[in-house]
């Protein structure tokens, strides 16, 4: 089944906990700490696959979890890294944040990979915390929780040429004759319920081996499609990536020029960029009308074209008349667009912004607010430390206080008149403020 949009939640694997252990061997009465580190949690990765054309499989589940890293062990044994979870999606998948206000990534090429949620760091074993003063640390880090994200996946088909027009104008017949697509064809409107993709091999029409492009047949549009009428509105977004739009006209319909203008208005209403794309007009079913009627239709359509340079072709999708000329004109526009994209990708920026990195920049970034009688501290680095520290362990608690001093949090708390035994909340964990520990 076709699905071009879905919401999912992903949770990367938690890092394994570090181990607190001590060397115990015969003839070595005072073995030192030998706790191994926890393994990193698995990432959640999205990978584009050109052999997939729907988000249906992804849509079958709403929650995806990667494997957690294993805990460290004694004898300095590091825990096993959690396995990454790779979700395959169609080429053309756009990753939005949950409310679709920001694009996170656009997988528009085959085999692109994007780490959607990073696995948590493994906790350090107690071997890392041995000092000349404390040679037997009983503290080891907890594993860091993996990232959690809720995202919207939206598929925008990657096609070079898009076919648009009213229902039953012959789009499906055309794409079935010129490409390897085999859409459903029947003598009633809205036969096409989902977009169909096909590859046009121009060798069949006298071109070379390298002359091929992808063509997409969009479900029929009607007036009001951009506002949700009919079926086509659901798939208008799939025209966004095309290099050229072929607008197919049925000369047997009443007032073909008027229907042409209505569909063009629907494209403009949905997305103004669509109307700026190169356009080709194809009058289909020419074997069913007279030369005089065709001339009349062309004369009435010509003034309604967005540009005078737009070409009008006469074709018959059934007999094949005019298809070769139409396809070669499409190919010319597609190759020009490809050359432009390559040129832009090779173009170097005129000036590069110089980014100055300050050591430990994240260490000094935190926010402090007092709410309901407790002091709430937020900040990426301090929250990470608290999540990875067992605050029930005295050495762990001492570690948090040490970092609070280094980061200036203790000084900020004192400015806010913190008192002994006041509650400090960091990363949903609560600790008591103590002047001395």
Phi, psi of 281 (to 5 degrees): -105, 130
pLDDT given for residue 189 in this prediction: 43
Residue with the larger pLDDT of the pair 273 and 183: 273
Residues 6+ positions from 261 with CB-CB distance below 8 Å: 304
By mean pLDDT, which of 53-67, 143-157, 220-234, 304-318 is the weakest? Answer: 220-234
Q: Which two tokens stand for residue 235?
A: 């798939």
DSSP three-state, residue 32: coil
Say whether pLDDT at 231 is over 70. no
Give the largest Cα separation in the chain, rounded: 108
Residue with the larger pLDDT of the pair 50 and 350: 50
What residues are paired with 362 via a beta bridge? none
pLDDT given for residue 348 in this prediction: 54
Q: How many other β-carbons are positioned within 10 Å of the β-carbon of residue 99?
A: 8
Per-residue confidence band for 219, with pLDDT thresholds at 50, 70 and 90? confident
Please state, for a pLDDT cut of 70, what percent of the chain lies above it: 88
- Residue-range domains of the chain with CATH: 5-155 (2.70.210.12), 161-346 (3.40.50.300), 361-432 (3.30.300.350)
Per-residue confidence band for 226, with pLDDT thresholds at 50, 70 and 90? very low
**pTM to 2 decimal places:** 0.72
Per-residue confidence band for 125, with pLDDT thresholds at 50, 70 and 90? very high
Which spans in 5-131 are helix H? 56-59
Phi, psi of 388 (to 5 degrees): -95, 10
Per-residue confidence band for 272, with pLDDT thresholds at 50, 70 and 90? confident
pLDDT given for residue 350 in this prediction: 46
Q: Is 400 left (phi over 0), alpha (psi -120 to 50) or beta?
A: alpha
Mean pLDDT of 18-24: 90
pLDDT for 68-97, tens place per residue?
999 999 999 999 999 999 999 988 899 999
Q: How many other β-carbons are positioned within 10 Å of the β-carbon of residue 334?
A: 23
DSSP three-state, residue 378: strand
Question: What letter would DSSP give residue 299?
Answer: H
Say whether pLDDT at 378 is over 80. yes
Mean pLDDT of 368-378: 90
**How far out from the chain centre does Cα 357 lie?**
28
Per-residue confidence band for 29, with pLDDT thresholds at 50, 70 and 90? low
**Spatial separation of the C-alpha atoms in residues 431 and 433, rounded to whole Å:** 7
Mean pLDDT of 163-179: 88
Residue 65 buriedness (CB in 10 A; 0-12 / 13-18 / 19+): middle
Buried b (16+ CB within 10 A) or exposed e, 11-20: bbbbbbbbbb
By mean pLDDT, which of 25-39, 149-163, 400-414 is the weakest? Answer: 25-39
Say whether pLDDT at 368 is over 80. yes
Q: CA-based angle 343:345:350, to the nearest 5? A: 90
Per-residue confidence band for 5, with pLDDT thresholds at 50, 70 and 90? confident
Say whether pLDDT at 220 is over 80. no
pLDDT given for residue 77 in this prediction: 94
Residues 6+ positions from 75 with CB-CB distance below 8 Å: 21, 23, 34, 36
Most confident range (mean pLDDT) of 65-69, 89-93, 337-341 is 65-69
């Amino acid at each position: 089944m076709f699905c071009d949009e879905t919401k999912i939640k992903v949770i990367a694997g938690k890092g394994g906990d570090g181990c607190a252990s001590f060397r115990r061997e015969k003839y070595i009465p005072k073995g030192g700490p030998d706790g191994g580190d926890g393994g990193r949690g698995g990432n959640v990765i999205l990978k584009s696959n050109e052999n997939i054309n729907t988000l249906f499989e992804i849509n079958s589940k709403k929650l995806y979890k990667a494997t957690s890293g294993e805990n460290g062990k004694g004898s300095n044994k590091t825990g096993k890294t959690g396995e990454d979870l790779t979700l395959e999606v169609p080429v053309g998948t756009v990753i939005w944040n949950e409310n679709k206000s920001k694009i996170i990534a656009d997988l528009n090429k085959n085999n692109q990979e994007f780490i959607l949620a990073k696995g948590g760091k493994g906790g350090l074993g107690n071997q890392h915390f041995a000092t000349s003063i404390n040679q037997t640390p009983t503290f080891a880090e907890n594993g860091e929780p993996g990232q959690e994200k809720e995202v919207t996946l939206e598929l925008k088909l990657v096609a070079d040429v898009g076919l648009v027009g009213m229902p039953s104008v012959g789009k499906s017949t055309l794409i079935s004759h010129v490409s390897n697509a085999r859409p459903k064809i029947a003598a009633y409107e809205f036969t096409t319920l989902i977009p169909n993709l096909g590859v046009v091999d121009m060798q069949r029409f006298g071109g070379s081996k390298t002359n091929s492009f992808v063509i997409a047949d969009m479900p029929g549009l009607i007036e009001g499609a951009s506002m949700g009428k009919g079926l086509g509105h659901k798939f208008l977004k799939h025209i966004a990536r095309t290099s050229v739009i072929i607008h197919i006209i049925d000369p047997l319909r009443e007032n073909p020029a008027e229907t042409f203008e209505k569909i063009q208005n629907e494209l403009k209403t949905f997305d103004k960029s669509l109307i700026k794309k190169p356009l080709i007009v194809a009058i289909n079913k020419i074997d069913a009308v007279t030369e005089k009627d065709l001339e009349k239709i062309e004369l009435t359509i010509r003034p309604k074209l967005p540009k005078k340079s737009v070409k009008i072709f006469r074709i018959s999708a059934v007999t094949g008349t005019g298809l070769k000329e139409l396809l070669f004109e499409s190919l010319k526009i597609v190759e020009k667009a490809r050359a432009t994209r390559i040129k832009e990708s090779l173009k170097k920026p005129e000036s590069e912004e110089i980014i100055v990195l300050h050591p430990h920049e994240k260490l000094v970034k935190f926010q402090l607010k007092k709410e309901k009688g407790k002091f709430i501290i937020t900040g990426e680095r301090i929250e990470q430390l608290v999540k990875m520290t067992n605050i029930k362990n005295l050495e762990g608690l001492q570690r948090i206080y040490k970092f609070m001093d280094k980061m200036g949090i203790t000084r900020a708390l004192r400015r806010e008149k913190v008192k002994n035994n006041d509650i400090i909340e960091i990363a949903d964990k609560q600790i008591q403020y103590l002047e001395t520990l």
